[in-house]
A = this chain, B = another copy of it.
């Protein structure tokens, strides 16, 4: 990898990068993007909508302009295309709720102790931190992060199904909002999905399944992925955004347990090309919502 010439700007930018997170979070909390989106975009109107000081709004909006979320001309602000699509609460693609999770104090606070975390090689949070049993942050995750995953849930389901419309059983481990399994149930009316997660999290998934009209084919398996009996056999197991929480030994153990729960190759019913798939985002970087979605050329069967 080539290195750029020395630039102190990089050091200052990183030391102050936390201000950018705070500014976006504050703007979302104050409803700035709705205020600017509705217009007319002068400081006085925005401040009135947000019940905030004009001085504070002016400084915040100037900072958001520098950062590409607003556009300023002749003293008025308007939304940049990014903010109009992803931050105006009136947009169907709004990601504003994601900030409630990614920028919440519980998620940010551990970073104040990062040196200690690196020293010890483990979390400073009580117990096992975010993967402590029944940690309530996963309820908030399920409630807020769906807009981030919605754009990839459909394509992921298509990868898993490859057009299959015959009866099948799918296990969705650490289902969270449940969108990935729900999309499979939507695309294959013969699919039955089992969501596995902590019980309060599964209630969020079931709500989403109801809204999608597939709750009659959505079963709940509450508990720890490492402890509950998966049942099965399943035709597909979804293991999304999960393995990165654990060390290699733990992941290998879990993958063996997953493997034992999938229908053996050759056993009916099977699809034409690949009876059993384990799809992980780790294995499919093209599913990253950070890049523009392009249809994958082929699925990635395991075994």
Contact = CB atoms under 8 A, between A and B. Distances in A.
A28 B10 CA distance: 15
A95 interface: yes
A247 to B, nearest CB: 8
A108 interface: yes
A71 B1 contact: yes
A114 interface: yes
Contacts of A75: none
Interface residues of A, number: 71
A21 B17 CA distance: 6
Given A84-B6, A114-B26, A1 B121 contact: no
Contacts of A56: 117-121
A4 B85 CA distance: 12
A119 B57 CA distance: 8
B71 A3 contact: yes
A84 to B, nearest CB: 7
B1 A290 contact: no
A281 interface: no
A115 B30 contact: yes
Interface string A66-92: 011101110000001110111100000
A152 B87 CA distance: 40
A241 B29 CA distance: 31
A25 to B, nearest CB: 7
Given A4-B82, A5-B81, A111 B10 contact: no
Interface of A: 1, 3-12, 14-26, 29-30, 50-57, 59-60, 65, 67-69, 71-73, 80-82, 84-87, 95, 98-99, 102-103, 105, 108, 111-112, 114-115, 117-122, 148, 289-291
